[in-house]
Structure 1
């Protein structure tokens, strides 16, 4: 019996040059590892049906659900600044879209086999990156950061060859859409104005119904990215591979390959093994967002009747990212400092604390969390410098409108006690490869309530536990 899902597939009704129709490749012996029942219910799906043999077969790609129109999406992109005219879903298949509460949600299988865009790859995923994306994307959701989400993880019963034989897996990813800056670049590079118009109309209707044409769309996407990246910075998140094909126009975080969260703080921190020159370092993420948005703006120009006038207006909109980002960033860090009002020197106060952390690479998460309960001093190396800063901060808090207990509550709501630290994720993956999923479920449960105290998972890596490099999941 085939599982039926309530699909309504608007992307598959766009011009067919935007995708290739592609069924997932069946796997040998699918076994459910994790199912996000809360997300399933939000999508109007029956968790029991998804756990059934028919449900697991659908989540593995063996029997696409009734109503699915499986496609692999086409896109291009700048990868580390280098232009690649055709990328696309090389190991992912979009099953379709589910509409709930007036919003569309893509349901996609990652690791679903070869597609016309695989470029020599096997189209599969191994278990490690699937568990990493499941944990990190759900942690981001719990932190209140726009993100794709994980509906399920399934073992395939097959071996994937990477640096060694590894267990295969499929991730079911849910997103507001999978439309990227690179999707627009794919059409722009082919001088496909009709396709650009159709895609632009689709994105406006789907994500930004109040946007007025291409200019309004650009303005909306710039604002969404300013909000998103400010929130990344607030939790110490480093995407690791901010190529234009990894920037979703919806404003969600997408593609958790060599991503990581800061342990010790330094603005130049890089984890990605392929980011050899620090292009996507923690502090460079806002700058790279501007670069990506400039590429997006260029793609929209053919839709404007007066190209020269549009260049000037689009340039102003993209350049306004910095102002909008700084405002969003300051909102984030004011709340991290327990402040509810605005003063002119608040940005300098926040940056001064970050400078103190950077000098000795102190732990970002523990110190901000410790501001609420007085434990920050336990994790600061330069105590005299921190004490001087603390005096300034105390005076600033006294001028704020919130009572002290409300300031503490605000800090506890915005400074997480637990993040998906690299060493914990690696422990989970190693245990899972050996067949033990208990660490995965324990960490997942803790990450679901990040603003509560979880002492077991809060600690930074001990000597010898540090993970200094993360890798692309392919």
Structure 2
């Protein structure tokens, strides 16, 4: 098969041994209809040169890619809404391949269904620049596994579309996220209790930086297997956090705490609610993935929830940092099998300061301005949140960052735009003063056509449902393709 010259298979999950996953067979789907093919992401791992038939073979039928032994369903446990569940594991997905990323690799034969660029460079990303990050190809909806329990191992087409949208929006906003590489409709009619049935089916492939979850450690700890914890510590340290010394479990926790704090801060700055922050949905690299009942805030609302079943608001918007920290404490509890409690506690205590620092940095990034020091940066953060709180639906969340991107340089544009009447009052004056203290970061970005538009790209539930309705009613994919093209423009405008 014509893999590109940058294709570098490296199936390192097998270094862990058979205690961490099970070889599985993918489902035999009645149809394989390509719906999303992300060649721009595929180019970073040398897979953009696959023909359409080869794409289906590997991402619809799951014939192993060159140098890849075959799919593995990962074993893990987890707390679900803080209730421990030892009956988890990959129940409708598997790890299909692992390979090295080559940042900036050009697409040799770009047949991307919608324009899409490579992941924004991240100075905090693990893995050396020369070697490239180790990435996983993971699936969703690829069939039953030993961990499916009573599930059918399938994914609804609507669920696949929603994950494609969530990942693209988050990438455009600078959030560490998995990328939707492929979405293929599979021709089955699924019965679901939470949406009209029968409904169409699909299989998704995502490109992600590690499927080692907090719950992977929890399973080993549940069985009292200190040896397995030690194996996981070394595996994760060597592949994802190589700056940590060999055998230093507390140092590894420190690195995971820092990555998780960054992720939580970026969610908040994006106005994003993941919806299901269980310990099996957080991984060791601090990358967001597995988008189920997600939502973006229409306007500032700390108690906003994404999941209809989150009746207590456990994973509400403003409680997400708390949820991430609670999950980190469960990971630390597992590491107590191989490390002293005091340095683990010290590592956990670093979450709060790291989160606040990352939140300041995330808001600076979203507003397109440079740091002026901790005090001034905190003042900008506080006044931005105060303005969002006061103005609410009058400006919504995303338009503020669109109107005032690059600070003073956007004054004329913002004050002549559709929200001009909202930009007044004491809260706005405090925000403007704090914003104008900061110099713009690369103000030439304002020349992008995105900033000539009156409104930014948002991802509110009404639009998501409208995109799905067009697909469901008349098989019209143009609203999805158009949305993805606009999101790519948004990402490019801020890169």
TM-score bin, normalised by smaller chain: 0.7 to 0.9
Aligned twin of 1:129: 159
Aligned twin of 2:91: 90
Confirm whether residue 188 of structure 1 aligns to residue 221 of structure 2. yes
Give the root-mean-square deviation of aligned CA atoms: 2.8
Listed as ranges, the gaps of 5+ residues in structure 2 are 103-130, 405-409
Question: Of 30, 33, 41, which aligns to 2:32?
Answer: 30
How far apart are 1:437 and its partner, in Å?
Answer: 0.9
Aligned twin of 2:479: 439
Aligned twin of 2:346: 316
Aligned twin of 2:488: 448
SS at the partner of 1:367? helix
Q: Give matches, 1:218-237, under 5 Å.
A: 218-237=253-272
Task: Name the TM-score, length of structure 1 as normaliser.
Answer: 0.86
Question: Of 176, 186, 192, which aligns to 2:209?
Answer: 176
How far apart are 1:108 and its partner, in Å?
Answer: 1.8
Distance 2:468 2:31 in 1: 20
How far apart are 1:449 and its partner, in Å?
Answer: 2.1
How far apart are 1:71 and its partner, in Å?
Answer: 0.9
Aligned twin of 1:420: 459
Distance 1:111 1:48 in 2: 22
Q: Deviations over 1:377-432 (max 9, x none)?
A: 85499x59x521233334345544559967978997xxx93233322221122222
Confirm whether residue 340 of structure 1 aligns to residue 375 of structure 2. no
Change over 3 Å in CA distance of 1:340–1:30 after alignment to 2: same
Q: Give matches, 1:367-446, under 5 Å.
A: 367-371=400-404, 372=410, 373-375=413-415, 378-379=418-419, 386-401=424-439, 417-434=456-473, 435-446=475-486
Distance 2:358 2:459 in 1: 23
How far apart are 1:349 and its partner, in Å?
Answer: 4.6
Distance 1:140 1:29 in 2: 30
Aligned twin of 1:361: 392
How far apart are 1:241 and its partner, in Å?
Answer: 0.7
How far apart are 1:274 and its partner, in Å?
Answer: 1.7
Listed as ranges, the gaps of 5+ residues in structure 1 are 305-309, 454-474
Q: Give matches, 1:454-469, under 5 Å.
A: none
Distance 2:79 2:297 in 1: 25
Q: Give matches, 1:11-410, under 5 Å.
A: 11-49=13-51, 51-52=52-53, 54-61=54-61, 63-66=63-66, 67-101=68-102, 102=131, 103-163=133-193, 164-212=197-245, 213-304=248-339, 310-337=340-367, 338=369, 340-342=371-373, 344=375, 346-359=377-390, 361-362=392-393, 363-371=396-404, 372=410, 373-375=413-415, 378-379=418-419, 386-401=424-439
How far apart are 1:364 and its partner, in Å?
Answer: 0.8
How far apart are 1:436 and its partner, in Å?
Answer: 1.2
SS at the partner of 2:183? strand
Change over 3 Å in CA distance of 1:387–1:250 after alignment to 2: same
Number of residue pairs the alignment of both structures matches: 441
How far apart are 1:91 and its partner, in Å?
Answer: 0.2
How far apart are 1:69 and its partner, in Å?
Answer: 1.9
SS at the partner of 1:33? strand
Task: Name the TM-score, length of structure 2 as normaliser.
Answer: 0.82
Q: Deviations over 1:435-460 (max 9, x none)?
A: 1111111111111122579xxxxxxx
Change over 3 Å in CA distance of 1:303–1:341 after alignment to 2: same
Distance 2:297 2:146 in 1: 37
Change over 3 Å in CA distance of 1:87–1:298 after alignment to 2: same
SS at the partner of 2:465? helix
SS at the partner of 1:374? helix
Q: Is the 8 A contact 2:380 2:435 kept in 1?
A: no
Change over 3 Å in CA distance of 1:47–1:273 after alignment to 2: farther
SS at the partner of 1:157? strand
